[in-house]
Structure 1
Amino acid sequence: MPFIEAAGITQHYDLTGPAGAPVLLFANSIGTSFQIWDAVVPHLSQRYRVLRYDMRGHGLTQVTPVTEEAGYSMDLLADDAAGLLDSLGIARAHVCGLSIGGMMAQRLAVKAPARVHGLILCDTAGMIGPPSIWADRIAAIRARGMGAIADGVMARWFTQGFRESRPDQIRGYTAMVARTTEDGYVGCSMAIRDADLRAANAAITAPTLVICGAEDVATPPEVARELAAGIPGARFELLPGAAHIPGVEKPTELAALIDSFLRTL
């Protein structure tokens, strides 16, 4: 269970794969830990050195206090990822980000282009929802705790078929959301609320693949296609049978798309 001081906080991470192999950094969605990539890693860790970490205030990574005047920002989250790479002595990596992790990855690719070799953006966008959605979610959490949203996010994260056929997993992922610290979730919600990366994405120079689950209602395929259109040279791939977290529902297929893309670089 490795921990490291990076970007001014204690970060929880996992690094597996051959020494000297290209590093592939995975960044998670809001309300999750890096365990959401568990089923993907075995398909990639023979060829890549796979680095996963818990975002600020999530999983076992340190939470920092949040107020309305001082929340998290996408720049802060990108600096956390860059700081992790620095602390581990990694100069450059492929970066795969999911949802808010994908927004962080977009920001990192603009702020520190030399750090990002290949960019994979999963079920994300340059702007996710109007700010009012996140303001309402923050208010609900502050009033009633994480339990106020834990059940509801399952319908956005997973297809109906998966929810009905894997009740044990759904209970587990519901618990994962409920265990997330309030400040961590609210801080990241504020970062999403305040982020509009669409114009800045024209400056991304890393080869980019955008992937979207065909049944994603949180960041639907049309939004992901818009994201790809705004990044020079980006490719788009639709993943059938998946919703917002394809690494859980379709890990083999997601890993194949990632590997096929990275082999071209």
Structure 2
Amino acid sequence: MQRTSELFDRAAQDDLLQIRNDLMTVYREFSASDRRLFPLRYARTVPRRPQPSRPRPANGRPATGQAPDRTAVPQVPVLLLPDGPGRASVLPYDVLRRSLAGRGLDVVMMEHRGVGLSRLDAAGRDLPLHAMSLREVIGDLLAVLDHARIEQAAVVGTGYGAYLAQVLAVLHPERVHSLVLDSPLTGAGDEVIAQQTLRGMYWDGTDISTATTARTLRRLAEEGAVDITRAGPVVLAVHEHGGPAAVRDLVDLLAVGRGSLTWTSVRQVLNQAWLQSTPYVVEHDLTARILHTELGRGHHADGGPLDALLLLGDQARAVPPFTREQLDLHALAPAITAPTLVITGSRDLVSPPRIARELTARIPGARLLEVPGAGHSILDTRSRILQVAARWSACGTAQHLPERAAELAALPASATDQALTRGLQIALAAERYSPWRLRLASARAERERVLRERAQADPRPHRGRRAAFDRADPV
């Protein structure tokens, strides 16, 4: 008799998920030197209603003109590439793809090799590590476009996905109609800029808005209250989900002997996120070879104050060391001919705005959209903005979006990001008040409620406690 556990192994789960009618399969070779095949999956979500055809210019490029309204028709499908590679799974973005389809978009999203539904070979075993390379991933993207019979696509990439989008636009420009590069990764040197920016804000105090926080953090490090060499990932995470105000509140709590519970909790969550995988959501083990060996992520971890690359550096030790990048995207970016929109959040410390600005300057005709108050990955934290950008890009008019930056910034944050922000606020508030203060505040609120109810029941003016006793017992 078959054991129950065998019904829920990885291969069985893949088979169950394949029942979905939006998932497609194209068989790909492991690598150029290994001709064995594995099933590469991708999702395609089409508009609910057929869209009328729209004539295209003879040169295949959209004509510039008015920004699209609700009746505008997308000219091409959208190829959506999320951040990763360990998080490049299609399943967490089901709702997003349906939302884009509701806006009239034909959306294609590839399950990255080594992740989720594209993790196993034809025999149900994990893909071998030698199959993990950027060269093969670009081949996967082309294979998906071919299988879906898409000649050109509006390519929308976030982080690592933006890196793939740039490579695709450089090496295969005929397949790229337009580009949206969100919180872009442009090379191994990006993490140096991110490291410098974080330290400038919260260690050196070069930013006037965080100078006081940095001064307090330096004092805590001198007193031994904070292990500053391991504090970088915590400060970065709190900044991304709460901004400078949350970092200030946490540091101020540490300065008065509180806040350690929140600090430790954030650190433990970050450590677990890198050590543990969640199937079909986050899977670092196979893709680590691409992230660290080929892209050099974590290569610049130095163990100094606020080393935000600490966890990346620890993970990089499990794969062959980084030597050099296969492609110099800084040198190749001027060859990109597709209309390009670069998006960045003003408070992004993972891929700071400086990176996006410099990339915009390198790509001919590119436009920059900087979203005030947004952090890393507009796709994940400000999904509605990214959806608008994807539609405008597919309509050929994304170059007009920077003129609407204020309107876009007013759109609400994604539900997940709101939940993380709110959770951080609650944790800080709980530590701001000791249990004794919480009980006192609760008792005070209850007493005020009782007094209000009594006042509503007896509208006569009371002269205080003595008068109340006098009325209760005239003797």
TM-score by length of 2: 0.45
Compared CA separation, residues 210 and 100, structure 1 to 2 (3 A) = same
For the residue of structure 1 that corresponds to 2:155, the secondary structure is strand
Query: For 1:202-259, what per-residue CA distance to the aligned partner results, in whole angstroms no more than 9, with x for missing partners?
Result: 1111111111122221211100111111111111111233322222211112222333
- 1:102-130 deviation per Cα after TM superposition (whole angstroms, max 9, x unaligned): 11111111111110001111111321437
Q: How does 1:120-159 map to 2 (within 5 A)?
A: 120-129=180-189, 152=233, 155=236, 159=240
Separation in 2, partners of 1:96, 1:153: 29
Within-5 A mapping of 1:50-199: 50-62=107-119, 64-66=127-129, 72-73=133-134, 75-129=135-189, 152=233, 155=236, 159-161=240-242, 174=273, 178-179=277-278, 180-193=283-296, 194=325, 195-199=327-331
Instruction: Identify if the C-alpha distance between structure 1 residues 124 and 109 changes in structure 2 by more than 3 Å, giving closer, same or farther.
Output: same
| Aligned match of 1:25 | 79
**1:72 is aligned with what amino acid?**
S
Which residue of 2 is the match for residue 148 of structure 1?
none
Query: Displacement of 1:177 after TM fit?
Result: 7.0
5+ long unaligned stretches in structure 1: 134-151
Letter in 2 for 1:44: L
Greater mean deviation of Cα atoms: 228-237 or 33-42: 33-42
Q: What is the one-letter code of the residue matched to 2:392?
A: S
Q: Is residue 14–residue 52 contact of structure 1 (8 Å, CA) maintained in 2? A: yes
Structure 2: distance between partners of 1:153 and 1:103? 26
Cα offset for 1:57?
A: 1.4
Q: Which has the larger radius of gyration?
A: 2
How far, CA to CA, are the matches of 1:117 and 1:153 in structure 2? 40
Match of 1:138 in 2: none
Kindly tell me: are residues 188 and 253 of structure 1, through their superposed partners in 2, closer, same or farther at Cα, counting changes over 3 Å?
same
SS at match of 1:243: coil
- Indicate the SS of the match to 2:286: helix
| Residue among 194, 201, 204 paired with 2:336 | 204
In structure 2, the residue matched to 1:44 is 100
Instruction: Give the corresponding residue for 2:45.
Output: 16
Q: Matched residues in 2 for 1:260 and 1:187: separation? A: 31
Matching residue of 2:306 = none
After superposition, the Cα gap between the structure-2 partners of 1:132 and 1:219, relative to the gap in structure 1 and judged at 3 Å, is closer
Aligned residues: 239
Root mean square deviation, CA, Å: 3.4
Alpha-carbon separation, structure 2, partners of 1:35 and 1:176: 21
Q: Is the 8 A contact 2:345 2:353 kept in 1?
A: yes
> 1:61 is matched by which residue type in structure 2?
S
1:81 deviates by 0.8
Instruction: State the alpha-carbon separation in 1 of the partners of residues 369 and 238 from structure 2.
Output: 18
Q: Distance in 2 between matches of 1:123 and 1:38?
A: 21
Aligned partners of 1:255, 1:205: CA distance in 2, in Å?
23
In structure 2, stretches of 5+ residues that fail to align are 1-16, 18-22, 30-37, 52-73, 120-125, 194-232, 247-264, 297-324, 398-475
Greater mean deviation of Cα atoms: 119-128 or 251-260: 251-260
Measure, in 2, the Cα distance between the counterparts of 1:251 and 1:176: 27
Bigger proportion of residues as strand: 1
Q: Is the alpha carbon distance of 1:210 and 1:112 closer, same or farther for their aligned partners in structure 2, counting shifts above 3 Å? A: same
Q: Deviations over 1:40-80 (max 9, x none)?
A: 4344213210111221212322363226xx8513x332221
Are the counterparts in 2 of residues 6 and 84 from structure 1 also a CA contact under 8 Å?
no
Match in the other structure for 1:238: 370
Q: How far off its partner does 1:197 sit?
A: 0.7
